[in-house]
């Protein structure tokens, strides 16, 4: 045990998270690598929409490399690449076969994530099939109903999907922790799972899939922390959040932390640091001195 850790134990105070470059590690973006946008479309997608999406991605210069597979086999071969976004027409192949392929690719790239923007003309049928095959992977996915959408509308959704990943301000860590939450305006406290967490937000999945979140809803979150914080900090860590993004099913939400105090930020950093320490492997944190609490 280090002197700092021993001091933390004796005083009952959380260790200063700025020690050892921890804050820099948590906030710093990962090292840039070549990223790909994979666009797999059927011939039924109108040429003007295909051209608009192609021009937009290509206009981003060297940021992304656009790849347009023509068959499911060609799509599967993209698995070795760092895919920043996959734009996938749900008629590119028979829907069940296509979703099984997407599931396979997501499982193989679980550490990196594989966000998919589905294009569909049958949103009800597509989301039902999605729930059957991909509900556990829904955090990074979204869909667009092609009916009544202009080429500009589609490009706006592609831009939104790309910028969502770019605007994450800090590293996320998977957690899978049972929590309680309350949507403001409702007296009921509900059960959920904290899918992942960072210094700026979290992904929360409701246990009851029939209780969808709404965009911009405010949420009170209660996280059990008795094994992480000193006894005088209590057993429950409370945070206020605002829903910023919904999953396809609506049963999970990406949230940003709101109205956070300086003390809460310190405790949150301690919490995320402890999680990072537990998950730390390999060269990704080789140069970061992470100390568990």
Q: What is the CATH number for 64? A: 3.40.50.2300
Nearest partner of 260 among 291, 227, 237, 235, judged by Cα: 237
pLDDT over 60 (residue 123):
yes
| Gap between the Cα atoms of 159 and 84, Å rounded | 12
pLDDT over 50 (residue 292):
no
Q: How many CB atoms lie within 10 A of CB 37?
A: 25
pLDDT at 165: 62
C-beta separation of 193 from 138 below 8 A:
no
Q: Which two tokens stand for residue 128?
A: 């039902």
Average pLDDT, the chain: 80
Residues 232 and 191 in one domain: yes
pLDDT over 50 (residue 290):
no
Instruction: Tell me, yes or no, whether 21 lies in a domain.
Output: no
Q: How many domains does the chain have?
A: 2
* pTM for this prediction: 0.55
Instruction: Tell me, yes or no, whether 109 lies in a domain.
Output: yes
Residues 86 and 69 in one domain: yes
Residues 154 and 185 in one domain: no
Instruction: Tell me, yes or no, whether 290 lies in a domain.
Output: no
Instruction: Tell me, yes or no, whether 29 lies in a domain.
Output: no
Unique residue bearing structure tokens 């409702």: 186
Residues 107 and 198 in one domain: no
Residues 174 and 147 in one domain: no
* Beta strand 35-40 pairing with 83-89: parallel
Averaged pLDDT for residues 47-72: 93
**Which of these ranges, 109-113, 126-130, 154-158, has the smallest mean pLDDT?**
109-113
How does pLDDT run across 166-199, given as a tens digit for each residue?
Answer: 555 567 788 889 999 998 888 889 999 998 888 8
Instruction: Tell me, yes or no, whether 192 lies in a domain.
Output: yes
Residues 159 and 192 in one domain: no
Instruction: Tell me, yes or no, whether 4 lies in a domain.
Output: no
Residues 132 and 175 in one domain: no
Residues 185 and 143 in one domain: no
Residues 57 and 158 in one domain: yes
What domain range is 146 assigned to?
Answer: 35-166
Residues 105 and 218 in one domain: no
Nearest partner of 277 among 3, 5, 81, judged by Cα: 5
Instruction: Tell me, yes or no, whether 110 lies in a domain.
Output: yes
**Which of residues 283 and 223 earns the better pLDDT score?**
223
How does pLDDT run across 239-248, given as a tens digit for each residue?
Answer: 999 988 877 7
CATH code for the domain in which residue 262 is found: 2.40.10.220
**Which of these ranges, 20-29, 34-43, 113-122, has the smallest mean pLDDT?**
20-29
Instruction: Tell me, yes or no, whether 224 lies in a domain.
Output: yes
Which of 108, 142, 166 is at the close of a domain? 166
């Amino acid at each position: 045990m280090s002197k700092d850790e021993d001091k933390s134990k004796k005083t009952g105070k959380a260790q200063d998270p700025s020690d050892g470059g921890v804050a820099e590690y948590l906030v710093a973006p990962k090292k840039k690598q070549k990223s790909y946008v994979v666009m797999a479309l059927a011939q039924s997608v109108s040429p003007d929409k295909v051209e608009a999406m192609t021009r937009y991605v290509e206009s981003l210069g060297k940021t992304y490399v656009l790849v347009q597979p023509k068959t499911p086999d060609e799509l599967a071969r993209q698995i070795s690449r760092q895919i920043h976004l996959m734009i996938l027409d749900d008629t590119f192949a028979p829907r069940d076969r296509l979703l099984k392929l997407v599931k396979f690719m997501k499982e193989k790239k679980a550490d990196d994530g594989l966000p998919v923007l589905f294009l569909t003309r049958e949103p009800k049928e597509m989301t039902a099939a999605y729930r059957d095959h991909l509900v556990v992977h829904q955090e990074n996915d979204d869909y667009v109903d092609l009916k009544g959408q202009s080429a500009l509308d589609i490009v706006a959704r592609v831009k939104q999907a790309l910028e969502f990943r770019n605007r994450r301000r800090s590293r996320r860590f998977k957690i899978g922790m049972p929590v309680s939450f309350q949507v403001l305006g409702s007296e009921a406290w509900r059960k959920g799972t904290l899918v992942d967490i960072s210094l700026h937000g979290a992904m929360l999945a409701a246990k009851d899939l029939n209780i969808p979140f709404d965009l911009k809803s405010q949420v009170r979150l209660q996280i059990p922390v008795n094994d992480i914080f000193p006894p005088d900090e209590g057993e429950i860590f409370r945070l206020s959040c605002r829903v910023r993004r919904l999953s396809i099913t609506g049963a999970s939400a990406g949230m940003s932390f709101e109205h956070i105090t300086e003390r809460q930020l310190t405790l949150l950093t301690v919490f995320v640091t402890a999680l990072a320490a537990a998950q730390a492997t390999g060269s990704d944190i080789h140069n970061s001195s992470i100390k568990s609490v």
